[in-house]
Amino acid sequence: MYLADRQNRRMEQDYPMKWTILLASVWVLALPLTSQASSDGLCGFSDDECGVSALPYLQPANDTRVNLLLLLASQKDLTLPVPQPIPVESRSMVNPFTAYRVMGLSALDSDQPGGAGSTSEEDEDAALAVDGNADRRAVPLPEVYRLASQLNLPTDILESLRQPQSQREGRQISNDTDSVSLFLQQLIDDSALSAPQRTTLAQTRLVMMSGVYDHEQLSQMLSSLPNDGPAADFKHYLLNAAAFYHGDFDRASQGFEALKASSQPWVAETASYMLIRLAINKSVVNALDEYNMFDMAKADRVTAALALTRINDYLKQYPKGAYASSAAGLVRRVNWILGDAAALDLNFQQAFNAIDNVNQLQILADEVDNKLLENPAFLVGNATLMLVQDLKRLRSDKGWNAFGPLSGQDVADQLSLFDQVGRQDYSAYLQLARQFYIDKDYPAVLSAVTAYKGKDLSNVIDFSQQVLRGQAMEKQQAFSDAEQHWRHLLTLKTSYTQQQYLQYALALNLAYSGHPEKIFAKDSPVTNLRFRSSVLKFSANAQVLRQQSQSGPSAEERTIALHTLLTKELTHGLFSDFLQDAELRASIPAQSKTDDDNNSNDDALTVFNWDGSTTESGYQCPALEATVQTLQTNPNDARAMNCLGEFFLRTDNDVYQDWDELYTLSALASAPTTFEGKTWSRLDGYMAVINDAKAPAEDRSYALYRAINCYAPSGNNDCGTQQISKAQRKAWFRQLKSDYKGSQWAKQLNYYW
């Protein structure tokens, strides 16, 4: 879970400073969210394109880490970063509301959290990145080569150090080139060692890094070294470190206990620190399952308490030692194993008080979420953590999984505690949130939150209150008032992500109130193509689509508008309009796919160049334009209707909901359409031909063949939304086999579904 700080990355001194989170490996990308706190959004902390919704205001549906980071950053007056450069809104389809982006993680260059939420050694240095300056990969690979070159190592060993090292897990994660480099530096710096002794120790350490060794082999390699003095202490250090890596904690503990008295300062201090790590590892050895998931009930609390004693002993002897910050951070780790929520709460508050940058804040938030907010018993403590827990309990009137509902009495009790620590703003927001999410008392929300009079709305509590005010208006169908509310907020100072949310809120308001055209006015504050494209695809009428096809602010928007317009003209029988509007394609440059483009066919204007050549063998269709010209003249032409169906079948063309529109932005994609007319589907066309007694046999038999295949092989309609009974499909099959038994289509079809 954590990143190492440079000064503490010494051989096995520091534990792997790897972020871990207690997350499910597969997450359902929809709200409401799932069970555990870290599992709220169902995506790993490192998943930069995780589709989980995360909005920049305090809401129950947010992943708990999102709410926590929003609160902590606001308290510290820190701005959660966004990736640079900021996307060009008129062209980019980047979704600003993934958890990864809202939490600011996408703007980091350092290693991101990952892992499976184990309590193994990977996650021991619980606060290195918080209590020190984080950088897990402090020493670059060439450093180990440079140091090894000074120690007379064989050429083949030196060359192997140039190669990328394999990814390590568990205890072995700190058995890497960084640790080796720092150990080699100790050998170089110790003048009491002879050159041959340094070479032997260095070569042995590199064998340990390979992982291919046993205790006897290492003992043999080190047998030439004396049994006392600095060389002996380094030798015994390596043997005990190897025992640690192999999980022989008893041998390692005995050895490091003896090395505490070493005259070699580095060995003595490191031995004291390693005893802490050993106790922590030993305390959880029986509490981890095959997936490294932790069962607190199976932890050895006596050994965990011993780790706490050893931390205190180390800090007493080395108050400014190389591992002082790491050891202090491990107090949180031990208190978690002990299940001491009250102590953890205090530990986290102390750590938070020391934070002065966003990177540390993000690391601490992840740790707090894993170690404390998942505990259903933790409901009273630090005011900020309490508010996060309270919001989780507001996800439903029944609470959330093991977390009980937040009753009126609970709220009253919390308000008293908030007021005691001067957090009246928390009190006000908790009352407001319960009124909105549980009581659904929207008039009360509007009475409690007045129109914002200030100029700076970036404070997360202020912003969240104003969001609920606008949403309460909309719940009461006061769309015009809400529209003015969102427009006013868009004139105030907010963070980038807050401003994006206000655009989104206004777009939702206008789409659901039946005025999507306002989104495309010249002075519209909704400028993000991510939002505008959804409105074009699912809410806009033909006039707006035609307007944006010609005068949209970017080629990307004009392309989406025209693709949508042409597709809907085909599916609404507007054949004359299609032929006229298709000429607009020449004025829009071809678009190339980009990494942030999740759309299926929104930019594929070339799809309308279909020439009919992919029609099923045995049936002939002209180019799309010719088919539409026929339908313009005779909308009931059997061949043309079948061929229009072929166009959609062979090109898979449609106005699709892309990934974001299916999940995080589904509300906007689900707004009512203002495009007039009934939508036609392929099956509509086939059924019209089937029911046309005057249709040519070739066309009618093909329509039967295709209509039956609409249900192949699952039995579900793949050609439209109609619910056709199995009896009717059987009747079609019999009709094809009897009326057209000599046809190619009757011969090809052996089943119905």
Average pLDDT over residues 152-171: 77
**Taking a C-beta distance cutoff of 8 angstroms, is the pair 166, 128 a contact?**
no
Q: Where are the domains of the chain?
A: 139-339, 610-652+681-753
* The two three-digit tokens of residue 687, written as one number: 């059924």
Region of residue 4 (left: phi > 0; alpha: psi -120 to 50; beta: else): beta
* The two three-digit tokens of residue 641, written as one number: 């209707």
Task: Give the residue with greater pLDDT, 135 vs 235.
Answer: 235
Task: Tell me what pLDDT residue 409 has.
Answer: 92
CA distance 2 to 397: 36
Task: Tell me what pLDDT residue 252 has.
Answer: 97
With bands split at pLDDT 50, 70 and 90, how would you rate the model's confidence at 306?
Answer: very high
With bands split at pLDDT 50, 70 and 90, how would you rate the model's confidence at 13?
Answer: very low
Res. 289: pLDDT tops 90 = no
Task: Tell me what pLDDT residue 293 has.
Answer: 84
**Taking a C-beta distance cutoff of 8 angstroms, is the pair 722, 683 a contact?**
yes
CA distance 65 to 71: 10
Query: What phi and psi values does residue 322 have, to the nearest 5 degrees?
Result: -65, -25
* The two three-digit tokens of residue 140, written as one number: 């670059």
**Largest Cα span, the chain:** 106
Tell which residue, 359, 358, 339, 335, has the closest CA to residue 347.
Answer: 335
Task: Tell me what pLDDT residue 176 has.
Answer: 84
Res. 379: pLDDT tops 90 = no
DSSP type of residue 369: I
CA 373-376-381 angle, 5° bins:
60
The DSSP code sequence of 374-437 is: T-TT--SSSHHHHHHHHHHHTTSTT-BTTBPP--HHHHHHHHHHHHHTT-HHHHHHHHHHHIII
Query: What phi and psi values does residue 610 have, to the nearest 5 degrees?
Result: -50, 130
> How many residues comprise the chain?
753
CA distances from 283 to 173, 226, 251, 379, 380 (A): 19, 34, 15, 26, 27
Q: Which residues contact 212 (CB under 8 A, 6 or more apart)?
A: none
The DSSP code sequence of 456-514 is: B--SHHHHHHHHHHHHHHHHTT-HHHHHHHHHHHTTSB--HHHHHHHHHHHHHHHHHTT
Q: Of the segments 177-191, 252-266, 600-614, which one has the largest average pLDDT value?
A: 252-266
**Taking a C-beta distance cutoff of 8 angstroms, is the pair 58, 429 a contact?**
yes
Residue type, 272: S
**Taking a C-beta distance cutoff of 8 angstroms, is the pair 323, 358 a contact?**
no
pLDDT digit string (tens) for 690-714? 999 999 999 999 999 999 999 999 9
Residue type, 95: N
* The two three-digit tokens of residue 450, written as one number: 């007045």
**Taking a C-beta distance cutoff of 8 angstroms, is the pair 581, 563 a contact?**
no
CA distance 276 to 8: 15
DSSP type of residue 722: -
Task: Tell me what pLDDT residue 86 has.
Answer: 86
CA distance 599 to 530: 11
CA distance 541 to 330: 60
Task: Give the residue with greater pLDDT, 613 vs 127.
Answer: 613
The DSSP code sequence of 14-68 is: SPP--------SS---SSS--SSSTTSS-S-TT-TT---B--SS--TTS-HHHHH
Query: Counting beta carbons within 10 angstroms of the beta carbon of residue 286, is it exposed (0 to 12), middle (13 to 18) or buried (19 or more)?
Result: exposed
Residue type, 210: S
Other C-beta atoms within 10 Å of 226: how many? 10
Task: Tell me what pLDDT residue 443 has.
Answer: 98
CA distance 325 to 8: 9
Task: Tell me what pLDDT residue 402 has.
Answer: 86
Region of residue 166 (left: phi > 0; alpha: psi -120 to 50; beta: else): beta
With bands split at pLDDT 50, 70 and 90, how would you rate the model's confidence at 188?
Answer: very high
Domain 610-652+681-753 falls in which CATH fold? 1.25.40
pLDDT digit string (tens) for 444-480? 999 999 999 999 999 999 999 999 999 999 999 999 9
Res. 8: pLDDT tops 70 = no
Task: Tell me what pLDDT residue 20 has.
Answer: 27
**Taking a C-beta distance cutoff of 8 angstroms, is the pair 120, 173 a contact?**
no
* The two three-digit tokens of residue 32, written as one number: 């409401």
The DSSP code sequence of 311-340 is: HHHHHHH-TT-TTHHHHHHHHHHHHHHHT-
Res. 619: pLDDT tops 70 = yes
**Taking a C-beta distance cutoff of 8 angstroms, is the pair 647, 653 a contact?**
yes
With bands split at pLDDT 50, 70 and 90, how would you rate the model's confidence at 135?
Answer: very low
Task: Tell me what pLDDT residue 142 has.
Answer: 64
**Taking a C-beta distance cutoff of 8 angstroms, is the pair 21, 365 a contact?**
no
Task: Tell me what pLDDT residue 332 has.
Answer: 94
Res. 747: pLDDT tops 50 = yes
CA 45-348-42 angle, 5° bins:
20
CA distances from 707 to 526, 640, 680 (A): 43, 16, 14
Task: Tell me what pLDDT residue 9 has.
Answer: 30
Average pLDDT over residues 610-637: 98
Task: Tell me what pLDDT residue 321 has.
Answer: 95
Q: Where does 139-339 sit in CATH, by number?
A: 1.25.40
The single residue listed with the structure tokens 């058995």 is: 175
- Cα of first residue to Cα of last residue in the chain, in angstroms, is 52
Task: Tell me what pLDDT residue 39 has.
Answer: 41
Handedness of CA 51, 56, 57, 63 (dihedral sign): positive
The DSSP code sequence of 196-264 is: HHHHHHHHHHHHHHHT---HHHHHHHTTTS-SSSHHHHHHHHHHHHHHHHTT-HHHHHHHHHHHTT-SS
Task: Give the residue with greater pLDDT, 19 vs 297.
Answer: 297
The single residue listed with the structure tokens 């090395």 is: 259
Tell which residue, 728, 460, 677, 530, has the closest CA to residue 94.
Answer: 530
**Mean confidence (pLDDT) of the chain:** 87
With bands split at pLDDT 50, 70 and 90, how would you rate the model's confidence at 40?
Answer: low
Task: Tell me what pLDDT residue 593 has.
Answer: 57
CA distances from 74 to 77, 385, 401 (A): 5, 14, 29
**Taking a C-beta distance cutoff of 8 angstroms, is the pair 179, 11 a contact?**
yes
Res. 307: pLDDT tops 80 = yes
**What percentage of the chain reaches a pLDDT higher than 90?**
71
CA distances from 741 to 305, 623, 642, 712, 753 (A): 84, 29, 20, 20, 19
The single residue listed with the structure tokens 């009326």 is: 739
Task: Tell me what pLDDT residue 620 has.
Answer: 98
* The two three-digit tokens of residue 702, written as one number: 């093909």
CA 473 to chain centre: 31
| H or E element, residue 365 | helix 358-368
Task: Tell me what pLDDT residue 53 has.
Answer: 63
With bands split at pLDDT 50, 70 and 90, how would you rate the model's confidence at 556?
Answer: very high
**What are the residue ranges of helices labelled H in 55-164?**
64-75, 99-102, 128-131, 141-149, 155-160
Task: Tell me what pLDDT residue 194 has.
Answer: 97
Tell which residue, 305, 368, 380, 373, has the closest CA to residue 342.
Answer: 380
CA distance 672 to 658: 17
Please tell me the pTM assigned to this model: 0.82
Task: Tell me what pLDDT residue 32 has.
Answer: 30
Task: Tell me what pLDDT residue 30 has.
Answer: 27
